[in-house]
Structure 1
Amino acid sequence: MDGEIFGRMLYLGIIVVAVGSYLLVEFRGRMGQMMRGLMSWGLIIVGLMAGYGLWHDMGGQFSPHQTIAAQGEVTLPRARDGHYYLMLDISGQPIQFMVDTGATSVVLTRDDAKKLGIDPDTLVYLGTAQTANGIVRTARVTLDDVRLGDFTDPTLKAYVNDGDMGGSLLGMDYLGQFRIEIAEDRMVLRR
């Protein structure tokens, strides 16, 4: 146990002893009442923790998703993490991308490449990319039948990242086809 953990445990122990001593003195002779009070507060705290956990787990179900308007615009709400996410239909398979206006290319994770029938282990990784996690190898691929609502592109140049990524990125190779407007926690794409 290092010094920081020992210090925290000692501090927590002092607080427990102080609160416990107060409760014993205050409820002397009324231990049943004290135990009922402690159990009530314990159940309240456990209930709040469970509610918070469920809310966090189910939060994605209650957050708004992209909407596609009849006049050919796509509206993306800002997610809780501050990013914008977009779902593309590629060869009939839905793939979620994080919209990244600072990225040049469309970059797929190995898992998303597999969903599209691309075997990452057979690709030739000739390129490299500088990421927040360092330099990674990339392999160029061509995606067929890319759809976003009424917008259809027969092909899209993309790269498969050989490193670890939290999700696929949608860069300016695709986003450059749209006029982008960001306002009031939403991004609107128009073509």
Structure 2
Amino acid sequence: MNENDTTANFGKGFVWVAWVIGIALLVFIFQDLLDGQYNPNQNPKLSMQANGKAAVTLEQNRQGHYVTNGAINGREVTFLLDTGATQVSIPAHIAENLALQAQGQQRVQTANGIITVFTTQINELRIGNIYLYDIAANINPSMAADEILLGMSALKRVEFSQTGKQLILREQL
């Protein structure tokens, strides 16, 4: 083997390493952009109404959904607002991380058919500067998503109105 072959092989290896590093950097950079498109409400716009009640303005994502960061019992979570869901529905793997306790089970009708879920209670749910207490919820072992469906058991406790691609949630009077 001569010196030119060794240098050429080293050069080819270096080019491959450079390409892998370049692609990894692009993925890292664009992942933030993609995350922002899926959840444009990572830091939702907060305000106070003239009567002192809290309000949160959410932007639609590219799919037309309202996804936002929030908290359950002080732990950060991601919510997908779902006015078609009767209860807040929490994937089992997230419920385990939140240390939510199953209090019973029931059969429910979902878009994918009838399933068994476990009932639970959320002590505190926060969206921006809106706090809700003692919210009925379900732990759903069939959900693999990383978002919690924010159903009507929570949404019925806020006023909401949609204007264009914005949804405004307000504390009830």
TM score, norm. by length of structure 2 = 0.69
* 1:157 is the counterpart of 2:136: yes
Taking every aligned residue pair, what percent have the same amino acid on both sides? Answer: 27
* 1:173 is the counterpart of 2:153: yes
| RCO comparison, higher one (Cα < 8 Å, 6+) | 2
* 1:77 is the counterpart of 2:59: yes
Spell out, residue by residue over 1:101-126, the C-alpha distance to the aligned partner (whole angstroms, 9 max, x if none).
1111111001210121136xxx4652
Q: How does 1:1-191 map to 2 (within 5 A)?
A: 57-63=31-37, 64-65=40-41, 66-71=44-49, 72-118=54-100, 123=102, 126-166=105-145, 167-191=147-171
> What is the deviation of 1:99?
0.2
Distance 2:133 2:47 in 1: 22
Q: How many residues are paired up?
A: 140
Task: Return 5+ residue gaps in structure 2 as ranges.
Answer: 1-22
Letter in 2 for 1:152: Y
- Give secondary structure in 2 for the equivalent of 1:102: coil
Distance 2:96 2:160 in 1: 30
Bigger radius of gyration among the two: 1
Distance 1:61 1:162 in 2: 25
> What is the deviation of 1:59?
2.4
> What is the deviation of 1:95?
1.4
Alpha carbons 1:139, 1:159 under 8 Å: kept: yes
Partner of residue 28, structure 1:
none
Alpha carbons 1:93, 1:115 under 8 Å: kept: no
> What is the deviation of 1:58?
3.2
Larger strand fraction of residues = 2
Letter in 2 for 1:70: M
Alpha carbons 2:103, 2:120 under 8 Å: kept: no
C-alpha RMSD of the superposition: 2.5
> What is the deviation of 1:61?
4.7
> What is the deviation of 1:54?
7.1
Alpha carbons 2:108, 2:114 under 8 Å: kept: yes
TM score, norm. by length of structure 1 = 0.63
